Amino acid sequence: MTVILFLIILGALVFVHELGHFISAKKAGIRVDAFALGFPPKVIGKKVGETQYDLNLIPFGGYVKIFGEDGDAVAGEAVSEEDKKRSFVAKPRYIQAIVLASGVFGNIIFAWLLISIGFMSGIPSAVTGRYANHVQHPALTITSVLPDSPAARAGLRSGDRILALSDPTRLFKETDADTAREFISISKGALTLEYGRGQETLQTQIEPVSGIVEGKVAIGVSLDTIGVVSFGFFRSLFEGALMTWDLLREVTVGLFGFLKEAVLGQADLSSISGPVGIAGLVGEARVLGVVYLLSFTAFISINLAVINLLPIPALDGGRLLFLAIEGFTRRTIPAKFTRIVNTGGFILLIAFMLFITYRDIVKLF
């Protein structure tokens, strides 16, 4: 089920990205030859008007074939004057830039809609955050679990709600995170922990240990009091836009921080997840509930938007860089050169993705 859900999410993210390119190209009067979800071989396809629509077998991607995007529309006598006028390269550079950036806008708009739906349904929020006065049904919640800690060995996960803690002499049923941490730190012996996960109520035994928190015993979790925030339709759209902007800023700052560390040779590649790692996170989000799954999908969509703007060949950002160079120099970069560079960039991206996927698989064993 997790794999199927991951493929559906991936397909949706690729679809909205390519749909952005497709719509902007059509609106600009550019001929679109193909719209495909996934990479060949083709499973099913149909031509409608001038555009071939395909569903392909390999789900990790998709593409829109825009006539003349690589500068090939004006070559050869087989192309009519009318088609030459409808080619990508025949349009002003600002139109080309809009078409190239529209995929990124598609991912951002998709994230905004998902987050807005989350606010309408009820989105998790800390009682001390921006929405402190709007939080309903607060619960003591695990926000992270330290690897190889007593909590991790007991099977606790991020998002689990602690309903009760008890040791041989005491019982704790409050929702305050500081009080819960104090209860754990002075416990003597094993703790019985009752917790909620999705619609289930579970129970486990945990022995707090020293060495995690200086001078105290702990079980290896971060705790916060988290409830649900929900708004009406228009307020949800507004708050969704604010949260989308915040996520965009945080992801951009984080990505450029990582790139800076990579240049300095200090980057931690273990923090990067490929398709296998993301599929695992999708499974965890599914267990926590639909709203968590929507929020996670929105987060991935924003990540894809920011990554696609990087000035790397084969990505939208790389093509925008070529366009900027052409505008600055007032000279057209040869189509053959851009094709070679973009193909090379694509091969490197695939190689990097395979490397990250291999690391994800190794982590499973």
Catalytic residue numbers, as ranges:
18
CA torsion, points 235, 239, 240, 245, in degrees to nearest 10?
Answer: 150
Extract the tokens encoding 339. Answer: 């094709």
β pairing state of 51-66 and 216-218: unpaired
Q: Please give the Cα distance from 23 to 10 (Å, whole number).
A: 20
Q: Please give the Cα distance from 333 to 282 (Å, whole number).
A: 42
Contact (Cβ atoms closer than 8 angstroms) between residue 211 and residue 149: no
Contact (Cβ atoms closer than 8 angstroms) between residue 357 and residue 279: no
β pairing state of 171-172 and 161-166: antiparallel
42 by DSSP, 3-state: which? strand
C-alpha distances in angstroms, 295 versus 53, 116, 141, 144?
30, 10, 17, 17
Does an H or E element contain 182, and which? Answer: helix 177-185
Q: Please give the Cα distance from 2 to 226 (Å, whole number).
A: 26
Contact (Cβ atoms closer than 8 angstroms) between residue 211 and residue 141: no
Contact (Cβ atoms closer than 8 angstroms) between residue 274 and residue 147: no
Main-chain phi, psi angles of 299, to 5 degrees: -65, -45
Enumerate residues 6+ apart whose C-beta is below 8 A from 28: 91, 95, 98, 99
DSSP string, 80-144: -HHHHHTSGGGS-HHHHHHHHHHHHHHHHHHHHHHHHHHHHH-EEEETTSTTGGG-EEEEEEEEE
